[in-house]
Structure 1
């Protein structure tokens, strides 16, 4: 069913927010037209990429590996 079974989102992470934090996430999600979960996933992964210095354009599963 999935090309890569590791891409199935089956790991859950619970985050507790206060009313103000939840309102910010909801407003951002509404503005972007996505769900709160998708918005939080995008923000979390963006922060992780910045923290680890990963360039998102270099993350492609179609990059050929050279035999060298």
Structure 2
């Protein structure tokens, strides 16, 4: 079903936020039109790439781009 079974999101990570933090995340997600989970995932991975010095442009995609 999936091209890469390792890309299936089955690992859960719980984060507890206070009302102010949750409101910021919710507002940011609403502004971008995405779910809170997606917003948190994007923010977390962006921070991890920054901390590790990984350039997102250098990463290979797992799904081949088809001409057409």
RMSD value over aligned CA atoms?
A: 1.0
Unaligned runs of 5+ in 2: 63-68
Distance 2:13 2:44 in 1: 11
Pair member with larger Rg = 1
Provide TM-score, normalisation by structure 2.
Answer: 0.88
Alignment deviations for residues 23-54 of structure 1 (CA, whole Å, 9 cap, x no partner):
00000000000000000000000000000000
Unaligned runs of 5+ in 1: 63-68
Higher RCO (C-alpha 8 Å, min separation 6): 2
Q: What is the CA distance between 1:61 and its match in structure 2?
A: 3.7
Runs of 4 or more off by more than 4 Å in structure 1?
Answer: none
Number of equivalenced pairs: 62
Provide TM-score, normalisation by structure 1.
Answer: 0.88
